[in-house]
């Protein structure tokens, strides 16, 4: 088969190609181009030899400037081998709307997704010259239909039970969870959260007071307000250490050495080499305090003091010991009772 797609969608199309190969199909796409080859000719030959042409419709490939994708899809359509796949909720370009596309807009990469079973079955049918089989509903659709049915029946029952004061127990029944509970929350029954509140609460860090307060602002009368209030009431202040990078400069005086070097450049290099250990000694002084960690040390020159002597030169300098450190900072933060 031949797979046509917009190049910018490569990260999204590559997993799809792998799945098609897992289904036992031999797939050609532009990643199979020979390096340095005549790529237009290679694409034309592969397209002509294919028994099925999959075009991947996305926000990028339906654009008017995606001419290669449209041209490849048109060739597959003329031969009656075109099989469109939608990764984004887009309408196909003009001229391609009559062929039903396999909907993968909700696909999250699960190899067991029913939509992929539909795709592999459709490819096999096109390769065999048969009509594509009827698609199975994706699991999410089946769950939604089932959930909607039990919700309608359950809410009707619960509303009828209201005079008996058993709404809270009925809405929290695990049998049809979470459909029944979400429906009760949407209708304000049984002190249950609506779906949006339930999903938002699930993401809240129960030790983060700011996140809990933000949830209360978003759902001031929500089902979790008492739980949130109790967590905030149990808050406490805790100290936490943070290590932050800093650089300190200490005065460093390096005297000319006794040894004479053949030129000033060599004398300066020797002076810097001697100064490296002096700089390290000065920087290690910070370690007398537990508030510092020494990362590195170096010598830096402000002003050279070089003297020419018989047979060469000798140098010293005035500069800095440059200390790269981590400094401890104790910060106080609010922690809730989660």
pLDDT of residue 178: 67
Q: Which residues pair with 254 in a beta bridge?
A: 317
ω into 2 cis (within 30 of 0) = no
- Spell out the alpha helix ranges (H) of 23-66: 39-49
| Helix and strand numbers, DSSP H then E, in the chain | 11, 7
Cβ pair 214, 285 in contact under 8 A? no
Distance CA 86, CA 3 (A): 13
Per-residue confidence band for 145, with pLDDT thresholds at 50, 70 and 90:
very low
Coil, strand or helix at 26: coil
24: Cβ–Cβ under 8 A, 6 or more apart, which residues? Answer: none
pTM, whole model, 2 decimals? 0.42
Per-residue confidence band for 309, with pLDDT thresholds at 50, 70 and 90:
confident
Specify the DSSP element, H or E, that contains 236. strand 236-254
Per-residue confidence band for 192, with pLDDT thresholds at 50, 70 and 90:
confident
Cβ pair 196, 223 in contact under 8 A? no
pLDDT of residue 81: 92
pLDDT of residue 135: 52
pLDDT tens track for 252-301: 999 998 889 999 999 999 999 999 999 999 999 999 999 999 999 999 99
pLDDT of residue 153: 46
Name the nearest CA neighbour of 335 among 201, 216, 207.
Answer: 207
Name the nearest CA neighbour of 7 among 103, 72, 84.
Answer: 72
Rg of the chain in Å (alpha carbons): 36
Share of the chain above pLDDT 70, in %: 82
pLDDT of residue 97: 83
CB atoms within 10 A of CB 320: 18
Q: In what order do the strands lie in the sheet with 292-309?
A: 236-254, 312-335, 292-309
Distance CA 211, CA 242 (A): 21
Question: Residue 71 to residues 3, 61, 117, 118: CA-CA distances in angstroms?
Answer: 13, 11, 27, 25
Coil, strand or helix at 86: strand
Share of the chain above pLDDT 90, in %: 40
pLDDT of residue 140: 44
Distance CA 298, CA 320 (A): 8
Cβ pair 55, 82 in contact under 8 A? yes
Coil, strand or helix at 4: strand
Cβ pair 133, 158 in contact under 8 A? no
pLDDT tens track for 114-123: 788 888 889 9
pLDDT of residue 173: 58
pLDDT tens track for 195-251: 888 888 888 888 889 999 999 888 888 888 888 888 888 888 889 899 999 999 999
Distance CA 272, CA 205 (A): 53
């Amino acid at each position: 088969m031949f797979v046509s797609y917009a190049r910018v969608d490569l990260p999204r199309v590559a997993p799809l190609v792998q799945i098609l190969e897992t289904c036992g199909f031999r797939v050609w796409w532009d990643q199979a181009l020979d390096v340095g080859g005549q790529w237009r000719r290679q694409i034309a030959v592969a397209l002509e030899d294919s028994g099925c042409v999959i075009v991947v419709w996305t926000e990028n490939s339906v654009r008017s400037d995606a001419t290669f994708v449209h041209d490849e899809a048109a060739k597959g359509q003329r031969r009656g081998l075109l099989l469109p796949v939608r990764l984004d909720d887009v309408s196909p370009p003009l001229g391609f709307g009559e062929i039903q596309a396999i909907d993968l807009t909700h696909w999250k990469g699960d190899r067991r997704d029913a939509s992929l079973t539909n795709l592999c079955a459709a490819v096999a049918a096109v390769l065999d010259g048969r009509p594509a089989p009827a698609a199975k509903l994706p699991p999410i659709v089946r769950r939604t239909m089932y959930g909607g049915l039990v919700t309608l029946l359950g809410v009707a029952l619960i509303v009828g039970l209201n005079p008996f004061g058993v709404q809270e127990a009925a809405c929290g029944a695990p049998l049809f969870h979470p459909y029944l509970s979400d429906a009760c929350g949407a209708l304000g029954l049984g002190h249950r959260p609506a779906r949006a509140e339930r999903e938002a609460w699930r993401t809240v860090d129960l030790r983060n007071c700011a996140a809990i307060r933000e949830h209360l602002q978003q759902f001031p009368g929500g089902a979790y307000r008492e739980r949130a209030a109790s967590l905030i009431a149990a808050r406490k202040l805790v100290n936490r250490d943070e290590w932050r990078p800093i650089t300190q400069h200490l005065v460093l005086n390096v005297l000319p050495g006794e040894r004479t070097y053949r030129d000033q450049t060599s004398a300066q290099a020797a002076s810097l080499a001697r100064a490296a250990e002096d700089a390290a000694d000065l920087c290690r002084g910070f370690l007398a305090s537990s508030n510092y960690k020494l990362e590195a040390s170096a010598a830096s020159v402000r002003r050279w003091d070089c003297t020419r002597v018989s047979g060469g030169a000798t140098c010293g300098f005035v500069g800095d010991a440059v200390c790269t450190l981590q400094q401890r900072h104790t910060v106080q933060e609010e922690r809730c009772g989660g």
